[in-house]
Amino acid sequence: MSESIHSDTNSKVEAVNKSSGWWPKSLTFNKDDAPPQIYNRTLYLSILVFGILGCARGYDEGNIAGTVAQLDFIKEFGLKDPSKTADQLANLKSNITSMVQLGSIGGALFSIYAAESLGRIRTMQLGCFVWAIAAIIQITSHKVGQLYAGRLIEGLCIGTTVVCGPCYISECAPKAIRGTCNNIFAGAVYFGIMLAYFANYGTALHQTGRNQWVYPTSIKIVLAGTIFILSFIFCIESPRWLIKKGRIEQAQINFSKLRHLEPDHPYILSEIADINDQLQVERDAINGSSFWNNLKSLATVRSIRIRMITCIMIQILGQWSGSNAITIYAPELFAMVGKKKQTDKLMMTACLGVVKFTAAYLSAFFLIDFIGRKRSLYGGITIQLISSLYFAIYMSIVPQAADDDPHLTPSQLRAGQGALASIFFNGIGWVMGWNSIQYLFNSEVLPLRVRSLGTAVVMAFHFANQYGNSKAVPSMLISLTNAGAFYFFMGVCVLGLMFSWFFIPEVTGRSLESMEELFSLPWYLIGRRGAQLAPDHSEINRIHYNPSGQGNAHAGDIDVAMKDQPEQIEYADDKVAERELQEVT
């Protein structure tokens, strides 16, 4: 490596050693005995740029929720055309709202090529460029056909963001904070939703005519341009993608920059060794590296097939649990519980955005990497289940609350306040549970060779179900009634709890390269006892930070020692795991 790289790395290490640390403690809590330098500003800024990419999806969901309720938009695009039936109007609205989800399916599949060939950073930059073009097409629309086209193209961008964003973050973040870092992306979805809700509310108060919906939609151009520029300043290409492409030396340099350690530091060398070993295992299992062999392996290689089924079921159960319907059709739902004025509906929708945004980042910093993925998921689904049940019961007992001018008793009005609160609690449960893992899980459990390919397929299922959900909800509220739709969402939550307990393993704190061992267990043990039967034996676990000064000094003021784990000696926990596995099988 060049002297300039060594000098730059050493200066960064020295700065970290002397720093008192102004990053949040949840991001610097060194619970895995790793060198403290790996938690640094360079890493966080690079991850932050990819994290705020989640705004692309979130802003559109929040924006379209308010846009279809703006009076000028309704008039211009015929959302209350008296010549159309109720079903036709519901279909028109669902087409407008769901066109982005339809385009996102294509975007996710396109990222199979883009993320593998162009890299994570170039894919993100291409997506931002297309996003800005799509926004321009939308704000110049006067006919519904052009609006459809703009939203379809925007979907192509959003489909790529949910593949390259979580993949990059999982590949670059240290294992101890991988969940927290990935939930920066998930939380940014709700930052985008909150921003869009307030933009809609502000223009409803202070603008008239087309400006009511054109101004909020124009903010997409600002967001796309900001992320595009920041990516050139702060982002460092994923070392794991570079290793997969055979660019080992550049990967070592990038790891050095992201970890603030020298390129020949044992921690970096161990990470690279783990990645190379795992790639070799994948090559042997897949029998080739062509696209078709990789695609075929998603279904034919047992451990990968189990991972794909689990990831796809997470997307299906999450999308049909009801939160997506609440996000997109929030103004209509608030109208059902007493908020009939346009400004009141948009104000409550904006408050919902604040609640979801706050809950998303509280979950990211204090739950997902501390109590674990599964416990956070259990809690979130349970809250969703209870809130959906309450809303369904309320609409069963007081169906007239959804009328334009209902006559309600004082007790019914008080119960309506509870139904209003249940909408907010449903949002809290969603961001604690399904939202915390819907981007994270597939990006961390899928092997490197097929990570972007598998994630693209999973996210295509994600958007296909979101599209179906967006299309179905207006009709569900008519055919099943308001109460019946929420009873349906409650039933999905029950199925989600059962599936989570039986099939989803706890992977908090595991290295990406240790997932193969976990998913090689019998399928019926992975979710219930996987963490106990298949502990993490990756090479990087042999590295620990030695603050006492014993061992071999390395990288400036940092002491690093190698744990004594000769290959010929079995791990004690290996023996326990083997014995337990024999007992249960």
What are the pLDDT digits (tens) for 12-68? 334 434 433 434 444 444 455 778 889 999 999 999 999 999 999 899 988 988 888
Q: What is the pLDDT of residue 578?
A: 52
Q: What is the pLDDT of residue 544?
A: 62
pLDDT bin (cut points 50, 70, 90) of residue 2 is very low
Q: Does residue 439 sit in the same domain as residue 541?
A: no
| 482 in the same domain as 426 | yes
Asked, for residue 143, whether it belongs to a domain, the answer is yes
Please check whether residue 36 lies inside any domain of the structure.
yes
Q: Higher-confidence residue: 324 or 286? A: 324
Domain that holds residue 565: 512-584
Answer yes or no: do 542 and 451 share one domain.
no
d(CA 195, CA 521): 44
Phi (first) and psi of residue 317, to 5 degrees? -65, -40
pLDDT of residue 554: 45
Q: What DSSP designation does 140 have?
A: T
Mean pLDDT of the chain: 83
> Which of 161-170, 173-182, 285-294, 393-402 comes out lowest in average pLDDT?
285-294
329: nearest Cα among 180, 163, 138, 472:
472
Query: Of 503, 523, 538, which closes a domain?
Result: 503
Q: Which residue has the tokens 């000769």?
A: 566
Mean pLDDT of 304-316: 94
Domain boundary among 476, 503, 530: 503
**Residue 286, pLDDT score:** 66
pLDDT band at residue 546 using 50, 70 and 90 as cut-offs = low
**Average of pLDDT values for 411-437?**
90
Distance CA 76, CA 503 (A): 48
Which whole number is the average pLDDT over 281-292? 72
Mind listing the pLDDT tens digit for each residue in 195-209?
A: 998 898 888 888 888
Regarding whether 335 and 384 lie in a shared domain, the answer is yes
Dump pLDDT digits (tens) for 167-184.
999 999 998 888 889 889
Among the listed residues 513, 439, 54, 13, the one whose alpha carbon sits nearest the alpha carbon of residue 239: 513
Domain of 151: which CATH number?
Answer: 1.20.1250.20
Give yes or no: residues 564 and 416 share one domain: no
Q: How many domains are contained in the chain?
A: 2
Domain boundary among 461, 483, 503: 503
pLDDT surpasses 80 at 563: no
Q: What's the DSSP call for residue 494?
A: H
Distance CA 289, CA 512 (A): 20
Instruction: Return the pLDDT at 240.
Output: 92
| 465 and 373 in a common domain | yes
Residues 150 and 52 both lie in one domain: yes
354 lies in a domain? Answer: yes
Same domain, 331 and 403: yes
Residue with tokens 């945004």: 357
Q: Which long-range contacts (CB under 8 A, 24 or more apart) does 72-79 make?
A: 72/208, 72/209, 72/210, 72/212, 72/213, 73/212, 73/213, 76/142, 76/210, 77/144, 77/147, 78/144
Q: Which residues partner with 544 through β-bridges? A: 561
Provide the whole-model pTM.
Answer: 0.78
Rounded to whole angstroms, what are the CA distances from 312 to 257, 458, 459, 480?
34, 6, 8, 26
- The 10 Å Cβ neighbour count of residue 374 is 18
Q: Are both 457 and 573 inside the same structural domain?
A: no
User: What is the structure's pLDDT at 413?
Assistant: 86
Over range 381-405, report the average pLDDT: 89
Return the closest-CA partner of residue 150 out of 229, 220, 226, 80: 220
Residue 10 binned pLDDT confidence (cut-offs 50, 70, 90): very low
Query: Are residues 211 and 165 both part of a single domain?
Result: yes
